[in-house]
Amino acid sequence: MLFDKSPLVVDTVLATKIGLNEAIVLQQVHYWIEINRTKQTNFYEDSFWTYNSMKEWNKSFPFFGEKTLNRIFKNLEKLGILKTGNFNKLRMDRTKWYTIDYSKLESYINELETNENEIENECLEEENASGQVDQMHLPEKENASGQNDQMEVDKLSECNGSNCPNANGQNDLTNTRDFTKTSSEIFSETSSSSSIKDVVEFFSNNFYLPQAYEAELFKDWVNSCSVDLVIEAMKTTRKNNARSMRYIERVLQDWQGKGIKTLNELEVYIRSREEQKNGNDNRQDGRDSEGLNEPDPYAGLGLDLSDL
């Protein structure tokens, strides 16, 4: 469906960093702030502001439910990117005013990029440390005729390449994964499994629209553990104000390293940790109380322990 009036726009980089829904709303708030800046109106506390009730905002975003829209605004407020105020003439008017802390937005994105780069570097270091390939052992031949013999390669995955010593074999099929598929094509292939749909839907609503290769990672994660655990890892990532696939993957790797593959096993693990912690606290309190109730061997002698 084509449009004949100004559409809502969204920056893909911003959507990747703070989430698609948040980027859409933030862009629209910025639009109205810029209008007020042009008109030189609604200027308070060294910033230009815009205001609206949630019902009025909902008219600009009819594809969001009012509860969803309210959650998006609160997410932006929690991040410190969206500032709120009340500059209404009537005290009884509680309509919220909004402005954007652009310096906070820039520093938040820079911080996310720094964290993502650090995680990526750590992953690369681990891959380099564990994925070193032994030298290929070539058969010893006295003459050049032995160069067409098959090379013995250690620790390399097998492929379907040709064993032919000439160029004709280069047209054989390989096991290379096809990343040219679109997200919709991959989702349709897994339409029989609602589990993948649940993961994709949660990721799209809370992060951004996944690419085709990211959808392939979802399938790998679900195959290695449960759907609920994958979604829980995404929730943990959001709670820590992170939005990268790397972060989600590191959370899952940490849990799997502890032998956790289902949400029930995670809940049991967390519960046991809490019980262990509470037990340590109770033992410490018991030792403290025992010290307080210990009888004074110098009672009745008119002496204080500080005198000894």
In tens, the pLDDT along 228-262 reads 999 999 999 988 888 888 889 889 999 989 999 89
| Backbone dihedral angles phi then psi of residue 159, each to the nearest 5 degrees | -130, 175
- Two domains, one topology: 12-105 and 179-291: yes
DSSP letter at 148 equals G
Q: Nearest-CA neighbor of 25 among 14, 36, 37?
A: 14
Question: Residue 42 pLDDT > 60, yes or no?
Answer: yes
Instruction: Write the pLDDT tens digit of every residue in 253-286.
Output: 999 899 998 999 999 999 988 888 887 766 666 5
Q: Is 14 left (phi over 0), alpha (psi -120 to 50) or beta?
A: alpha
Is domain 179-291 annotated with CATH 1.10.10.630? yes
d(CA 174, CA 155): 18
Residue 31 burial (CB count, 10 A): 14
Report yes or no on whether pTM surpasses 0.75: no
Assigned CATH topology for domain 12-105:
Arc Repressor Mutant, subunit A (1.10.10)
B/e letters for 278-296, b = 16+ CB within 10 Å, e = fewer, are eeeeeeeeeeeeeeeeeee
Q: What are the extents of the domains in the chain?
A: 12-105, 179-291
Q: Write out the E strands in the chain.
A: 43-44, 47-48, 50-51, 82-85, 97-100
